[in-house]
Amino acid sequence: MNEVFKALSHPTRRKVLAMLRERPMASGEIAAAFDVAWPTMTTHLTALKDAGLVTAEREGTSIRYRVNASVMEEAVAALMELMGAGKDAEATTNTVKGEKS
């Protein structure tokens, strides 16, 4: 859980998550969108992967990254617990009004 918040603490990594939310993307495609060197993006992606926030899988010639929604939900739940949502936290997290979950 610690690694999750650490991963979320960098703006670029949060933007990557926002992008991946729309659609899974390849490493190079992500790097190209961010004005950083490719190896730098690899580092960020590794941080996100180690935190469990994304998963990576080979797709032909490239490697596709996608968001791991459940870990994102856990992060939200943890934050809510921190702010006093207490026992309602997980219930509430799963009850995002119109979600395809």
Partner DNA sequence: CTTGTAATTAGCGTTTTTCCTAATTAGTCT
Partner DNA sequence: AGACTAATTAGGAAAAACGCTAATTACAAG
Structure tokens at 88: 């309602």
Choose from a copy of itself, DNA, none: what does 96 bind? Cβ within 5-8 Å by kind.
Answer: a copy of itself
Instruction: Compute the least distance from the CB of residue 44 to DNA, in Å.
Output: 6
Pairing of strands 54-59, 25-26: unpaired
Helix (H) and strand (E) counts in the chain: 6, 3
Q: Does residue 43 interact with a copy of itself by CB under 8 A?
A: no
Contacting residues toward a copy of itself, per CB under 8 A: 2, 5-6, 8-9, 11, 14, 17-18, 21, 67, 69, 72-73, 75-76, 79-80, 82-85, 88, 91-92, 95-99
